[in-house]
Structure 1
């Protein structure tokens, strides 16, 4: 995988945005990723139940990585319960868990409560390709989380933003809470406060509905990247830029008015202030 370690967040995020295909191709060509993708595509169509999925360690591992649940690979009993939970039953396990990743894996895998495959498109080319794309996207995020955490968090925001329909949902996700506190210019100590207080602070800066405006999303990412870079002015190097001819290996330093940032609101974003 191409690493952005050593680059400022604002530069690295822009670099990935302009060269996303190259980053993803590099990831797909990694030996481990290549083997896992091939195994998934070859064998997922023959799986007919959640038990069969759990028995195939390579395919199950692929699925878990695709949903950012690699750390839970060995929790097979719990994952079986989650994937066979009834999403329409408010008392079911999947609906009791605050982490949206569990609801996503339950929905996308689509097993019935008896563990059999219920999705009519399970294993189809379109469904399989969509999961491969999810896997590549998540591996890119995970890799950047390790190499350049601020970049990983920004990429995670871009992936999750369509699902962020309430500030409580935002704060239930550790990385999303960090993203917004930084983007809004709030001190990290705010994250130690109670959830209701944080929600009120966020609501003063933006209505959650405005988050679905693409222009607001883009400016939030730029704002986050600028502040994250200013808060972590560690040593930077631009050697990676030589890999991408369209960047010319050049970058422009920025200055940030943190007092102005703390007054952030979505309306000022749209006015371009």
Structure 2
């Protein structure tokens, strides 16, 4: 039986536990027999693959390749994935560039089949880069089996800082991401059912306004500050716990109790904000 990550409680308290134990839990998870076999097979065979057609023809390789970019659910869309890989990541007409989900472009760029440099599969360190990402995503998926909000928080913590450092970082990348957008929307108190129906330019405008109001800047570069990333995750989890928790009293809510007891300005402000909206 494979190791299953433990999250004893929901909300911010559960997140604090996960943060403290993440390294040890992830190490135990990665010792699982199935994961070990998948990583070993990919490492041994990916260097022989020189085209998108060869990759999609091998389901075991494709599983790791897609899983590394959070696209595990696309594994049966072979024709679609082949087109993404074949057309590369640099031309404006390429499918990966046109798609709103940025993971497709990352996938196409990493493998390089459709780009000027050609296949990257035999480059030194390529297999390790992909399998390391796959193991991280697999751990997050396992966390998500217990608590989907924790998976989203882990993903946000890992991805938003990297996105924020990119020169062409854009809120459009957040809007298009199936894993980043839910965190941002809930952290900013936006109704996902109606917000997602807005024109993307209007969505971007609102996200910039919310970010500026909270952090003093509308630029994604604010998330190079880990304290701001933590604040977003706390807001996301607190709101999620209020929406999903068994209690209806703001005073009894574990999320609000923890936020109130921390005593710092950011958390106290969040407590007051959430309490006033009930």
Q: Would you call these one fold, judging by a TM-score over 0.5?
A: yes
> Is 1:211 matched with 2:215?
no
Q: How far, CA to CA, are the matches of 1:224 and 1:182 in structure 2?
A: 5
- Structure 1 residues 191 and 53, CA gap change in structure 2 (3 angstroms): same
Q: How far, CA to CA, are the matches of 2:63 and 2:98 in structure 1?
A: 24
Q: How far, CA to CA, are the matches of 2:176 and 2:238 in structure 1?
A: 24
Task: Choose from 214, 224, 232 the match for 2:236.
Answer: 224
- Structure 1 residues 54 and 177, CA gap change in structure 2 (3 angstroms): closer
Runs of 4+ residues over 4 Å off in structure 1: 255-259
Task: Choose from 205, 215, 228 the match for 1:200.
Answer: 205
Measured after TM superposition, the shift of residue 213 of structure 1 is 2.3
> Where does residue 119 of structure 2 map in the other structure?
118
> Is 1:260 matched with 2:268?
no
Answer yes or no: is the 8 Å Cα contact 1:94–1:103 preserved in 2. yes
Q: How far, CA to CA, are the matches of 1:86 and 1:50 in structure 2?
A: 10
- Structure 1 residues 31 and 258, CA gap change in structure 2 (3 angstroms): same
More deviation in 13-22 or 140-149?
13-22
TM-score, normalising length from structure 2?
0.77
Answer yes or no: is the 8 Å Cα contact 1:170–1:176 preserved in 2. yes
Answer yes or no: is the 8 Å Cα contact 1:185–1:258 preserved in 2. no
Answer yes or no: is the 8 Å Cα contact 2:85–2:112 preserved in 1. yes
**Root-mean-square deviation (CA), in Å?**
2.9
Deviations 1:209-234 (A, max 9, x none): 32232221122122222222232224
Alignment partner of 1:90: what SS?
A: coil
Measured after TM superposition, the shift of residue 132 of structure 1 is 1.3
More deviation in 72-81 or 101-110?
72-81
- Structure 1 residues 133 and 11, CA gap change in structure 2 (3 angstroms): farther
In structure 2, runs of 5+ residues without a counterpart are: 212-217, 248-254, 261-269
In structure 1, runs of 5+ residues without a counterpart are: 236-250, 264-273
> Where does residue 241 of structure 1 map in the other structure?
none
- Structure 1 residues 133 and 229, CA gap change in structure 2 (3 angstroms): same
1:1-273 matches, cutoff 5 A: 1-112=3-114, 117-119=118-120, 122-161=121-160, 162-163=162-163, 165-194=169-198, 195-206=200-211, 207-208=218-219, 209-234=221-246, 253-255=257-259, 259-260=272-273
Answer yes or no: is the 8 Å Cα contact 2:174–2:181 preserved in 1. yes
Deviations 1:156-182 (A, max 9, x none): 112221225222221222332221122
Q: How far, CA to CA, are the matches of 1:255 and 1:95 in structure 2?
A: 41
Q: How far, CA to CA, are the matches of 1:201 and 1:12 in structure 2?
A: 30
RCO higher in 1 or 2 (8 Å CA, sep ≥ 6)? Answer: 1
Measured after TM superposition, the shift of residue 152 of structure 1 is 0.9
Number of residue pairs matched? Answer: 245
